[in-house]
Structure 1
Amino acid sequence: MSKRARSMRSAVAGAAALTTLVGLVTVVPAPGRAVAEAVFPFVLESAAAQPATGTPMPASGKHAALVRNTSAATTTVEGSGRVVLGAIASNCEGWPTLRVTVDGTVRGDVRIEHTSQYGAHVVGTPVGPGRHTVRISLLNDYMTSATCDRNAFLASAEMEYPLSAAFGTAVLFPPSRIAALKERVAAETAPTFTAWNALRAVADANLTREPAVPSAWMVPWAYGPDAAKGAEMVAKLRDQANAAYRLALAYRMSGDERYAVASARQITTWIRGVQSYSTAEDSSLAFAVNFPLMIVAADLLRPSTAFPAATQQEFGAYLRTRAFAMSTISHENNWGNWGLLLEVAAAAYLGDRMKFDQAATRWKYFVANQIAADGQMPRELNRPGDPQGYRGVWYTSFALHPQTLAAEIMRVNGLDLFYYRSPNGRTLRLAYERLVGWVHDPATYPYPAETGYAYHVGHWELLNLRWPNAKADTVLGWRRPVKDDSGSVGMTFTHGGLL
């Protein structure tokens, strides 16, 4: 049966399907109860607005029935990244394919294969931040009978990363968090108060610390013949970044400019003193692991006269020309997680939405591709030279640590991925809870295990508040205040007991 030969189609019965339509859904209120109208978001061509039949129910209560190759729905959305569609379909010797056009440019096609769950269909290539016109059209209309009719039903269209007023306000510590920490210290609230005293004592000792940087950055392999030389080089950046960070936190907590002056000295000496950067052997990884705290420190110093606008711009230029070039984000194992942390911290400092969105996309990729169905992280358990997982617990910690810190930076900037579930069902929580069990009770680790290591647990201060775990409580009780993990100095102070 030809669709053109039909006088009526069930998909658009009673609708003016061949005209452009802007719909408003009017909800009939119960007696004595007023209900506001919800706006139907699409302008339609050769299509109709119908009562929604899928789940979750769209706010308007309707979806757009796209039933011809001339059918299209257009809407305006704000944000960046890729387009995400909520849609269901009817199958007739195949599923319908939708084409997504953004601001006049075709971005990609997607096949809709669900009949009841609208879902989240991510389509095409990313676009930059802004207000975008999105058009969704049906490509492969087909019908053989009244019971075999290939259609698509569109409930929503939005950008992958909606714009957020929070973006760019801070890297890790917005003013509201600094205020909350001050309140907890003033009230001597545990564990914040004890951890603050520990951090401040080290910051006081660092007030007179004289920074000393290498002229050339090159870090030999950690397990190679020059491992001692590599450890010495790593310590130069780690100790300087950690000092800058502690001092910057002490400045924001106390308002004492002495801390700001000392912190700024650590930062500027590094970015001006190192003349060349190698990416050979462990050079890139060591930079990605240890430099992010320098970025957080620089952000904390923005209100201080010790870190004026010209110095802030100098630091921003350094991030663009040096830091991004040292990123390891393209790697598939823990190297990639640390590169992710470096890039998202730099993007937040710079207010670079495109870089930020790229990091967020990579964060989702790592959740889907690094974490197994049982929560293990195979790339950290079966490493080259360690096929039996001898150091697997340590390396699992080493990967989840930056993945968690990156999520917190994104949350501060308006994008909360802590509860993200990948299309294959993977979550950050899944890996966290597997790791907690191993650290709490090493006998549960299914491989030969190295002992005597203080695993990275600073990120547990973030995760255990979301997913309380008695085993994690026990481990944190042993370790608090957590202060010895790469990239997480003072985590008990900044995040212990405070979401």
Structure 2
Amino acid sequence: MHPKHQIEFVKLQVLNQSQPYYNAYRQLIVSADAAFNHTTHALADFAVPGYYIDPVLHQKNSRGLQSDAFDAYACALAYHISDGQSKYANQSIRFLTAWADLNTKYSDFDGSLVMVYSGTAMVMAGELLLNYNGWSHASKKKYLEWVQTVYLKASNEIRLRKNNWADWGRLGSILSAHLLENSTEIAENIRLVKSDLFHKIAPDGHMPEETARGTNGIWYTYFSLAPITATCWVAYQSTGENLFTNYKQGNSSIKQALDYLYYYNLHPNEWSWFVNPNKGSPTSWPGNLLEVMSSLYGDNRYSDYVKSSRPLIYRTHHFAWTFPTLMTVQFGSYQ
């Protein structure tokens, strides 16, 4: 998710106190420092009932993983951008180890889905720290076993679904495959994305599986595009294949879907799929997604939408584009 050339570029911007990177870095450090005071929340059985079945237990168990995953990720990133302050790496490993030592399974209706969309940050943190000398061999091995036997299992279990479950499953799977150096599984996830992208994205840019979700159709459109774009970013970094600009079918493309989301989030009264749908904001979703896509596609409309809200951190219940202002993305070499 964070190639070396991206990290080096961001470090240089922070060193030079260039904006908005410098303020975004300071924002990251506030989050990483706060993690030192947080307890871990690992569960042997990550049991998450369906939200509409038992919302209280769903949120309680979900929050534990989400809190630990965000803290592990923030600290791992802070370790790199702060130029190797080991205190941050050690804190990240504390959260990773808690889950690797205790968690052996997930269960109940939403257990696999929540494990996958929240646990992405656990995998990204582990990859960032894989070469850290302070991570003991035994602890690292246990963590990699957890990724293989629990997290990847959950990801592959849902990656064949038709809606956003599949999108999150593919992101979790390709992140894990990259971490575990499994080129066959990286290729398989790319194949899966290509196999149904134009079932997911209609010629006008709407996403039929997500726009059908009533009042939350705009949200679910975002919730599908966030992991799709993140998966494509990992694919681009892993293989060089560019699904962002080089994979289209007629008018259908990832950019077309992003434009659709952008427009109707600004004009929800024109949304034809439901009356008065919920809309997002530049400080939250889809601000985080449009922030990171603005630099990738060079679309000033997206940039203008979020500019006044920078720097952005998206730390809610899922992790694809969590630090979009700080960790900017672009094709080719960073300049």
TM-score under structure 2 normalisation?
0.89
User: Match of 1:206?
Assistant: 35
Equivalent of 2:233 in 380, 397, 408: 408
- Give the superposition deviation at 1:497: 8.1
Find out whether 1:451 has 2:273 as its counterpart: no
Deviation digits for residues 282-341 of structure 1, max 9, x if unmatched?
111111111011111011112323323433332222222111221221111011100011
**Structure-2 separation of matches of 1:299 and 1:496:** 18
**Structure-2 separation of matches of 1:247 and 1:210:** 14
**Structure-2 separation of matches of 1:456 and 1:233:** 25
User: Match of 1:361?
Assistant: 191
Equivalent of 2:220 in 367, 387, 395: 395
**Structure-2 separation of matches of 1:466 and 1:495:** 8
User: Match of 2:296?
Assistant: 466
Letter in 2 for 1:335: W
| Bigger Rg, which one | 1
Equivalent of 2:152 in 324, 339, 343: 324
Equivalent of 1:336 in 166, 191, 205: 166
Letter in 2 for 1:174: P
Contact 2:69-2:119 at 8 Å conserved across structures: yes
Contact 2:104-2:146 at 8 Å conserved across structures: no
- Give the superposition deviation at 1:363: 1.3
1:70-149 paired onto structure 2 within 5 Å: none
Equivalent of 2:96 in 243, 247, 267: 267
- Give the superposition deviation at 1:451: 3.3
Structure 2 unaligned spans of 5+: none
Higher helix share: 2
**Structure-1 separation of matches of 2:172 and 2:76:** 18
**Structure-2 separation of matches of 1:207 and 1:315:** 20
**Structure-1 separation of matches of 2:262 and 2:297:** 11
- Give the superposition deviation at 1:249: 0.7
User: Match of 2:254?
Assistant: 428
Q: How many residues align?
A: 321
Q: 1 or 2 for the larger relative contact order (CA 8 Å, sep ≥6)?
A: 2
Contact 2:93-2:135 at 8 Å conserved across structures: yes
Deviation digits for residues 352-380 of structure 1, max 9, x if unmatched?
01110010011112422100000000110
2:326 partner SS: helix
1:209 partner SS: coil
Equivalent of 2:3 in 166, 171, 174: 174
User: Structure 1 residues 309, 177: CA separation in 2 closer, same or farther (over 3 Å shift)?
Assistant: farther
Structure 1 unaligned spans of 5+: 1-171
**Structure-1 separation of matches of 2:37 and 2:133:** 19
Higher strand share: 1
**Structure-1 separation of matches of 2:192 and 2:200:** 11
Q: CA RMSD in A?
A: 2.0
**Structure-2 separation of matches of 1:252 and 1:358:** 30
Percent of aligned pairs sharing the same letter: 24
Find out whether 1:239 has 2:67 as its counterpart: yes
**Structure-1 separation of matches of 2:171 and 2:75:** 21
Letter in 1 for 2:263: G
Equivalent of 1:215 in 33, 44, 51: 44
